Structure 1
Amino acid sequence: MACLHNSLRLLSRVIRYTGLALALALAPAIVSANNEGAVAWVLPGEEWKTLETDHFAVHFLSQHQPQAQRAATIAETQWPLLTQRLGWTPQDKIQMVLTDDFDASNGWATPDPFNQIRVFLSPPDGGTTLEAYDDWLNLLITHELTHIIHLDMARGFPASVRKVLGRNPLTFPHAYQPGFLIEGLAVYTETDHQLGLGRGQSKGYDMQMRMEVLNGIDDLNQVTISLRDWPLGKHYLYGAYYYQFLTETYGEEKLRQYMALYSRNIVPFVFLNPDVKKVYGKSYPALWNEFKGWLEQKFEPQITALSAQDTTALQTVSNEGYTLDASASDGRNYYYLRRNGDDRQAIVRISPDGKQQTLAQLQGATSLAVNPRGQLLYTRLTSRADGRFWSDIFTLENGREKRLTEASRYREVQWLNAGLNQPQRLIAKRLQDGISQLDLLSENGELLRTLWQGSLDDVLGEYTVAADGKTLVATVKRKNQGWNLELFDITTGQWQALTNSKAIETGPQFINPHTLIYAADYDQTYNIYQLDLNSRQVTQLSHLMGGALAPQWVDGKVFIQNYNARGYQHSLIKPGQPVAQFALDETQGQYNYPDPYQQPVSHSEGRDYSPWPTLSPTRWMPLFGGDDHATLAGAAIDGADALLRHSYIASYSYDFDNDLNAGSLQYFYDNKWQFSALREHSYREHDINGEQRLQIRRSDVLELARINLLHAFENRLQFSVGIHSDQEKDLTGNNDNPAYVQMLPATKEGLFGARLDFSNAEAYLNTPGYSWGHNAALIWETNNVIDSDYDGEVINLNWSAYADLPGSSVLAFNTANAYASGQSKPFTLGGNDLQFSDTLFGRDSWALRGYDDAVRAGTRLNVNTLEWRTQLSSIERNLGVLPVGLGNVGANLFIDHGAAWQEGQSSDYLTSAGVELSTDLVVFYAMPLPVRLGYAHGFDQHAGKDEVYLTVGYQF
């Protein structure tokens, strides 16, 4: 009997996941951060409100009314400026959501499924490249609104398609551009060289690009992909200077002409070069070469000036600083938080003799403090099931982590040393609702009193406490000014300004009660300075081509983090003569930024939030497919509300040849409820006695799950329950086609289940897949609650473990075990689809490479996999400006060993081994698709085979 499994079942799965496809198609347009999705669960007493202006609907919690009014004022102020500057005006109101769910500065914008902006109420407070701003909301909203206007552009044919299909992914030409063209434009518009704000004019960006010029400017195909290569976020950096080059060389009007022309393309990436040639007379490669020359000319004066003076001698103690690390000193030893992209984050101590010791491994740490006794404190972000990422204080006791605060949102902590024989105190910083606050805590993290609370116009940056416990020094940003150093009297709660300059002064540390060291960009870059508080004399301690930040005073020596083209190094300034000395008054200067809130805009009174205005679908996608047995046509829609708490995907298709209806519906509410319904058909042709007969098997699947019903251990342990129904039958035919053949009996499976999931697995930037930790799921299901042809219970245990090996290698192990009692549906084993798991419940198939699908079946199953994975190289190159490139290339050696059998029968294990080559196939410039080309050999002489396969998907 011949069997042909044609492509229509695959098509039905495509239809099923069309909503996902729509989202993926617009993935390049989700910019400025990871799309964090739904707002956090509402806490007791919280209410979501909405106020509307002419062009914006601002959604906010009731306690954030002042912040919402500020956001509305800024948005409406920037609206006419940006729409005129970019030459486009979106038709619909922009949905802007203000959240305080994250203890980090960020935001995002996307035109999918409607124009929306997410604003995190968390101003930058040090350690980033974002400090050059007048007002955080002004910088963020200007940046994100630029994205909305830019990506919303559609003229000509795309505009006509949008009128018919709505906000279809094909109607956003500018979303299909390299990231440096998207992010670079937003950094360009946020920058004002005259006022001295925005990243595009900052010394931090100059520092990074200057080192790029010295060490070789990236080619166009390197910048077009921006995944892991240093500097991280290079599409922001290179893009900012690229737009500055374009407008300085050719003018902004040319830029508007190019954007207008490009917005007419229905297959946009094909026309990147043709359109740029029409406007600028040159292709992108030619423009990039011209840009390289512009960069060299721009930075030549800086490089010449910095080269005219001797470079400070450094002793490098660690070159693992992939980012600017948190650091600390106990007076004798140097400590830092290591994050190198290859291994777990760790607290490292460097002793006076230069030896390094890893004190603890952890995840998500953001700041570090140590007292003269060597007691460590750190803050780290913790994941919560309610969707919040808040920071708390932790310490180490006998090498083990101890949590001191719970949901207190302290993002930085310092010791307040009151003497060796007196109780220790802590001073912790919180940024909540966009307002900075300093609290005095006991050694155990208990709140004693609030020392100070600022306003929306005050931002507290990095700070440290004097050894006598009377004073702290901090970087502070006041209204309409830049960052300056201020002293805070811990007893009286009063601030005293130390500096008043246009420089960014950062990382202050006490040498003694009358002397500070800190970093500042007084000249072309950041360097280290020493300030005598009595004489107000400044001594420059470093002069570097790259720059120096984060100084620490360690037993008369100064440790720093110096920047080079491959990242940050932890170094020690070698003894030598001071670079320069000058009076602090010589640094005086004020910004006096214009107040962005001087002219409040009119807006509606805040009303209760409703999801309905944004929940209706904004687009639809036509679906077509067919072969000799069926002709399908249909449509798919999806939608979400402004808070992204409700989202849905729906599709419908009709088979004209066989008069069959199919479709799907998926609905999600927060990360609490999931519902899915699916009807699909599979088509197989059989040769029966020389006659071709068609088998059509219908599958109806329903699933309802309540996830995160219970959770613990920072959301690493989750408990969910759900119901799953799967009914299958062969169709009997109709008047037009009575020749359907029935090959299999109808089946009905109904399961009620519960599952317990645990995950502490971590993935690192330069290693393949998960690199450390465990993923485990224990699933219990019963056939005896919902109507089912089966009876009995099913238990499924899956556990994966990952060991981080030296370098960029991982040893991964997975074991899957399934047990069914009574007359449960049998499990099947075989094939190479390691990703097969469409639903939370009802899984009955597992892979075993080197063997056919369903090579074994039974009510008992055990399959084990051991893999050694390693990174071979990092290509990080794109194919010119076409939407395809390659990221990392890795190798994977594996052994599979498993069996499926009936109770009371022999297990008859099968074994296979093989090798896989993997790479990130980067499509649309920003979407890495893991592709694996594998060879597997099944050792069983009867069932095994040699096979070569190609799969797309993540490994276990």
Structure 2
Amino acid sequence: MLIACGVWAHGGPQCREGGCKLEFGAKSARAAGAYDPDVPYSTLRTPHFLVMYAEGYGRIALRAAEIGEASWSYLAARYAWTPNGRINIIINDQTDSANGSATILPSKTITLFVTAPTRVSGLEDYDDWLSAVLIHELAHIYHLDMAYGLPWLGRQLLGKYVAMNQYVPAWLTEGLAVYEETVSTGGGRGRSAYVDMVLRTAALNDVFPSIDQGYRGYPNWPFSNIAYFFGGRFQLYLAGRFGEDALLEYHRKYAANPIPYITYLPSKLVFQESMPSLWSAFEDDEKAKAEAMLLQIRTSTSLPLTTPKRITFHGGECVGPRVTPDGRSIVFSASSPVDGARVRRIDIDGSGEEILLDDTLSLGVSFTSDGRAFYLQQAEINQRYYAHNNLYRFDLERKSLEAVSVDPLEVSDWVASSGSLRAREPDVSPDGRRLVFVQSPFGANRLVLAWVESDGRTIHPRVIVPAEPDVQLSNPRFSPDGTAIAVARFRAGRRDIVVYDLTGAITYEVTRDRSQDTDPTWSPDGRWIVFSSDRSGIYNLYAFDTHDQTMRQLTNLITGAFQPSITPDAQTIIYRGYGPDGFDVYSVPFAPADAPRVPYTKAPLTSTVDTTPRRWPPPNEGAPEIPPPAPFRTDLAADDLPEGWSTSSYSALDTILPFNDNWNLFPALIANEHEIYGSLSHFGADAMGTQSYALNVNYGTLTEAFGGSASYAYDGLEPTIVVSGTSQAVTFSRRVVVEQSGTMPCAYGGSGSLQSDGSALCYGPDQGQYDQRRNTARISLGLPFRQRHRISLGYAFERRSSLDALPPDTIERLLPRSGNFARITLGYTYADTRSFPYSISAERGPSFGIALEALSKGLGSDYEAFVLTSEGRYYLSMPWRGFLLSNHVLALRLGIGFTLGPDLAETFRLGGATGRSAVTTTTDDFYPLRGLETSALDGTAVIAGSAEYRAPLIRIDRGLWTMPVTFQVLHAAVFVDSGRVFDALSWEKLRRGFQDEWAVGVGGELRADFIFFYELPLTLRVGYARAVRTPASMPATSQRNGFYFELGTLY
């Protein structure tokens, strides 16, 4: 990954044949559905790559292939590793975020998001975006794919699972890729002043992260970027201290080590020190550099060290502060690990903060001239496949949000196929009649000026600055007189401030050099253009005098300043400032006329990319050259291709078939509510995820039975089609009962009882266990829609029979039904829950699932029945905040399942504490109830409910050096579980159920969340439960009062 982002999950129940349960892991092939099936894709085939691209992106694909081929032998020589087969590259423009990803499972595949970064986030320092992201992701491919010695032998059997560099901390994998993007280009995060700021501030404030905190999902600032920022700089430190050959030799030694997760041995062999010891030395080195920088700032500049006023105290990610037209308050966005992203308003003195919008993080806002509304951007999920930006108008008086729309006659010219404008960073003209924004078609940027109708929502846009290849625009701002627009423009390796008139002609260039100049704004009188720049090595605020063309330095910080906004009285600058816990809103006086002048020189114009490095280290000799920019929205012709290169329509067969450098075989131990079973799994998928398959064979230790599954999913259409077959053993807490004539003892082992007629009932000897074999074939259609909904339709044929041979006189009516079960299923799920970095579970919102099934002899079934299964959950975040009070949750769950019709053929099971996790699962007809034995009750209908109050106790978020375990948080829950089963559903039994057949369990649990093996989240639960009410017909032995230990969660 180029950027690691915490996922704030939206989860809910998945309805399948037999029930609705929350799925923690796919049991069958399920196509990813990442790409719009209505968009045709092509493949460019080169000697070492397959590049997949949509219509209109052919030239970008060709340029990516040229960069890849130029990098292939260069990286092979550096890593002493030659990948087998071809590497897949997918050109993706379905998001307006700058990112990339790489994997070697099941095949070597890189995804490149063509949208380039424009905001300062660490990614802004690049020569050429496509080159930077591709070098980073190719470094992952070479690094992850390496295998030597015994691991190489293991790969011949288990395939790509035996790639030891997959089993390392994120600060190693991402750190090496950041190192490569730095030494193989003139930019990169290894040279970024933003990254300098993060490390320097941490070092000076004694919050430098330890080596065990560089994992994906770290919930505190700077979140997962510890792996990228600190991990990348750590590897630069190692290369500077020991030499690059030693650094790369370490990674080769790790790839040859047959014992995963152990950094000690290769580190001692290469560096003669352990990694934790080296990290401590790296921290000392960063502290020394930070202290030297602080001394330099204090002593060598004419401007004293700036001491700003802090207005907000959120920390983390805080963006886009803008002063209201009346100068009384500030609107900004903040993303808190406690409660997520929100747009907020605060008085300019820091009092009176209020929340305006939930679940929204906008890079900035722009007010109407009367201050009653503001415009903002927001990413929205469209048509399941796209995450594009749109513009919105928020009315401050009505607290209402409305999307900005284009006149219906102009929609085809301005609205993307996703349904969004793909627009960002709107700014309103002083007269309120016009709106300027940046639009991003085909990964390019163009500046758009739009007339706004009186409703404030409908616009009539026109392009004033057309898109150019590899030119990015950001943060347009109207001048106070409305005649000019200041913009940050990236072109040919330089990010500068440029001023346009309203026709799109350049009035003048404020800067032209390799400094990162961004976030322009105007003083109220129009004389000064204030912007952020790293020209001193630190992001400070500068003012450009439009009268005499001179530059003044306004701040002299040890941290950084971004996104300035000047108060209407021209006395104060409000800005996005950095501190040891992240970003907040700060202010400093605005007195540009008194600020010291800064000499600066404009660099000569250039038609080629400026790759001059501004900071250490120098680029490696032999690094790939950057090819010329690629025209966008153009496709390839045969004469565009070098000899031996070719194009064709995309085919999944190019990448899905096994033994095409994509073999894998995964052994595992998994547990369900009854047993542990071993399994071997293999899966495959094409590069774009349109088709996938999965194969599995397993053996249960309690049932002593083999099982398995095979599935295939096709996502080249809507809906997704899944075909599967399974064979599994299901255990019931039933004893086989045999009727025999004569007296005791029973001929069929176990215990028995004499009946009044002299016969005997003999109970099987298997501790109340009846095992049933279920062989199932299934086809289903699934269609997600409107982001949170999914419907499914399927047909399944299932053969059920006793796993073991039954005696001839078995009373089968006392056992779960056997025979043929053929059914059609209609399912629906809805999920709109939220969780945040500090959440201990889903924290806000509902989820719901329902499945309706019809069994019919006309479908091949032995039974006629109607089956309904459903489950609803609701999570309510408690309002209190403070020490030990934040992120408390009331979680509610209700499940209902029943069978109606002439044959009550389906059986539901109730009782137990088994949860679901990455290594545990439960069968679909199982409903937990703590305080009872597992599956203590079963029947043809079930009602089961639960209420839990969940509270975090202490956050740890630490590991043990580089060992593969991280202790995240300790939390607790108190619960009430209740439910009952019915042998046949009726109103009378429902009424009686609340009187004498209801089971209720109460108790509490202490839970600990861990991450094992750097990637595997797991919850451990120690609980105490007591059944305070049980059905009259249930034997006392079916209670399970006392302590228990389980993995995973119930819901």
Cα distance in 2, alignment partners of residues 885 and 492 from structure 1: 54
**Equivalent residue, structure 1, for 2:280:** 289
Aligned pair partner of 2:866 in 759, 782, 793: 793
Cα distance in 2, alignment partners of residues 604 and 180 from structure 1: 37
Q: CA deviation at 1:141?
A: 0.4
**Equivalent residue, structure 2, for 1:646:** 691
Aligned pair partner of 2:596 in 581, 590, 603: 581
2:464 aligned with 1:451: yes
Cα distance in 1, alignment partners of residues 860 and 279 from structure 2: 65
**Equivalent residue, structure 1, for 2:610:** 592
Cα distance in 2, alignment partners of residues 148 and 620 from structure 1: 16
Cα distance in 1, alignment partners of residues 179 and 811 from structure 2: 65
Cα distance in 1, alignment partners of residues 436 and 279 from structure 2: 50
Cα distance in 1, alignment partners of residues 862 and 435 from structure 2: 63
Aligned pair partner of 2:378 in 377, 380, 385: 380
2:832 aligned with 1:760: yes
Query: Which segment drifts farther, 938-947 or 245-254?
Result: 938-947
Q: Is the radius of gyration larger for structure 1 or structure 2?
A: 2
Cα distance in 1, alignment partners of residues 466 and 850 from structure 2: 47
Cα distance in 1, alignment partners of residues 1045 and 517 from structure 2: 53
Would you say the 8 A contact 2:32–2:689 is kept in 1?
yes
Q: CA deviation at 1:444?
A: 2.1
Cα distance in 2, alignment partners of residues 184 and 654 from structure 1: 40
Would you say the 8 A contact 1:314–1:573 is kept in 2?
yes
Aligned pair partner of 1:924 in 977, 997, 1013: 1013
Query: Which segment drifts farther, 649-658 or 450-459?
Result: 649-658
Assess, with a 3 A threshold, how the Cα gap between structure 1 residues 469 and 576 changes in structure 2: closer, same or farther: closer
Aligned pair partner of 1:525 in 538, 542, 553: 538
Q: CA deviation at 1:203?
A: 0.5
Assess, with a 3 A threshold, how the Cα gap between structure 1 residues 888 and 158 changes in structure 2: closer, same or farther: same
Q: Which string of whole-angstrom CA distances, capped at 9 and with x for unpartnered residues, describes residues 669-696 of structure 1?
A: 3372333321123589988248977975
Would you say the 8 A contact 2:967–2:1011 is kept in 1?
yes
2:870 aligned with 1:776: no
Q: Which structure shows the higher strand fraction?
A: 1
Aligned pair partner of 2:579 in 561, 564, 569: 564
Q: CA deviation at 1:811?
A: 2.4
Report matched runs for 1:778-927 at 5 Å. 778-784=850-856, 786-805=859-878, 806=880, 807-822=886-901, 823-824=903-904, 825-835=906-916, 843-901=924-982, 902-903=985-986, 904-905=988-989, 906-908=992-994, 909-927=998-1016
Would you say the 8 A contact 1:105–1:123 is kept in 2?
yes
2:657 aligned with 1:613: no
Q: CA deviation at 1:577?
A: 8.8
Helix, strand or coil for the counterpart of 2:56?
Answer: helix
Helix, strand or coil for the counterpart of 2:844?
Answer: strand
Amino acid at match of 1:533: T
Aligned pair partner of 1:419 in 408, 411, 431: 431
Query: Which segment drifts farther, 498-507 or 62-71?
Result: 498-507
Q: Which string of whole-angstrom CA distances, capped at 9 and with x for unpartnered residues, describes residues 359-396 of structure 1?
A: 22234645433223231222222223432212212223
Q: CA deviation at 1:916?
A: 2.2
**Equivalent residue, structure 2, for 1:26:** none
2:528 aligned with 1:515: yes
Would you say the 8 A contact 1:622–1:633 is kept in 2?
no
Q: Which string of whole-angstrom CA distances, capped at 9 and with x for unpartnered residues, describes residues 814-848 of structure 1?
A: 23334442244243322223549999999433222
2:701 aligned with 1:701: no
**Equivalent residue, structure 1, for 2:258:** 266
Amino acid at match of 1:597: P
Cα distance in 2, alignment partners of residues 937 and 19 from structure 1: 31
Query: Unpaired runs of 5+ in structure 2?
Result: 1-22, 406-414, 613-624, 630-640, 737-747, 752-763, 881-885, 1031-1035
Q: CA deviation at 1:137?
A: 0.5
Query: Which segment drifts farther, 367-376 or 837-846?
Result: 837-846
2:189 aligned with 1:199: yes
Aligned pair partner of 1:672 in 698, 720, 733: 720
Would you say the 8 A contact 2:25–2:918 is kept in 1?
no
Greater length-normalized contact order (CA 8 Å, ≥ 6 residues apart): 2
Q: Which string of whole-angstrom CA distances, capped at 9 and with x for unpartnered residues, describes residues 839-875 of structure 1?
A: 9999433222222233444455433322222222221
Cα distance in 2, alignment partners of residues 740 and 178 from structure 1: 57
Would you say the 8 A contact 1:103–1:411 is kept in 2?
no
**Equivalent residue, structure 2, for 1:950:** 1045
Assess, with a 3 A threshold, how the Cα gap between structure 1 residues 632 and 192 changes in structure 2: closer, same or farther: closer
Cα distance in 1, alignment partners of residues 592 and 464 from structure 2: 40
Amino acid at match of 1:329: V
Would you say the 8 A contact 1:381–1:389 is kept in 2?
yes
Q: Which string of whole-angstrom CA distances, capped at 9 and with x for unpartnered residues, describes residues 764-821 of structure 1?
A: 1111121222212233222246333443333344322222223222222223334442
Helix, strand or coil for the counterpart of 1:939?
Answer: strand
Q: CA deviation at 1:73?
A: 0.9
Would you say the 8 A contact 2:540–2:557 is kept in 1?
yes
Q: CA deviation at 1:410?
A: 2.5
Q: CA deviation at 1:645?
A: 1.5
Report matched runs for 1:337-736 at 5 Å. 337-352=333-348, 354-363=351-360, 365-374=362-371, 375-397=373-395, 398-405=398-405, 407-417=419-429, 419=431, 424-441=433-450, 442=452, 443-479=456-492, 481-494=493-506, 496-512=508-524, 513-555=526-568, 556=570, 557-574=572-589, 580-583=595-598, 585-586=600-601, 592-593=610-611, 596-597=626-627, 604-617=645-658, 618-621=662-665, 636-652=681-697, 662-670=707-715, 672-681=720-729, 688-689=749-750, 697-708=772-783, 711-712=785-786, 715-731=787-803
Would you say the 8 A contact 1:863–1:898 is kept in 2?
yes
Q: CA deviation at 1:155?
A: 0.6
Q: Over aligned residue pairs, what C-alpha RMSD do you find? A: 3.7
Amino acid at match of 2:1044: Y
Cα distance in 2, alignment partners of residues 846 and 949 from structure 1: 17
Would you say the 8 A contact 1:848–1:897 is kept in 2?
yes
Give the TM-score normalised by structure 2.
0.80
**Equivalent residue, structure 1, for 2:55:** 62
Q: CA deviation at 1:653?
A: 5.9
Assess, with a 3 A threshold, how the Cα gap between structure 1 residues 749 and 385 changes in structure 2: closer, same or farther: farther
Q: State, as a whole percentage, how many aligned pairs show the same letter.
A: 23
Helix, strand or coil for the counterpart of 1:190?
Answer: helix
Would you say the 8 A contact 2:175–2:234 is kept in 1?
yes
Q: Which string of whole-angstrom CA distances, capped at 9 and with x for unpartnered residues, describes residues 602-635 of structure 1?
A: 5512111111121112324376999xxx999985
Q: Which string of whole-angstrom CA distances, capped at 9 and with x for unpartnered residues, describes residues 456-502 of structure 1?
A: 221112222234332211111112x2210011222355564221122
Assess, with a 3 A threshold, how the Cα gap between structure 1 residues 696 and 809 changes in structure 2: closer, same or farther: closer
Aligned pair partner of 1:326 in 314, 317, 320: 320
Amino acid at match of 2:369: P
Q: Which string of whole-angstrom CA distances, capped at 9 and with x for unpartnered residues, describes residues 661-717 of structure 1?
A: 6420122333723333211235899882489779753111333322226x23xx123
Assess, with a 3 A threshold, how the Cα gap between structure 1 residues 654 and 73 changes in structure 2: closer, same or farther: same
Helix, strand or coil for the counterpart of 1:606?
Answer: strand
Query: Unpaired runs of 5+ in structure 1?
Result: 1-16, 24-34
Q: CA deviation at 1:570?
A: 1.2
Would you say the 8 A contact 1:773–1:803 is kept in 2?
yes
2:68 aligned with 1:102: no
Helix, strand or coil for the counterpart of 2:336?
Answer: coil
Amino acid at match of 2:235: Y
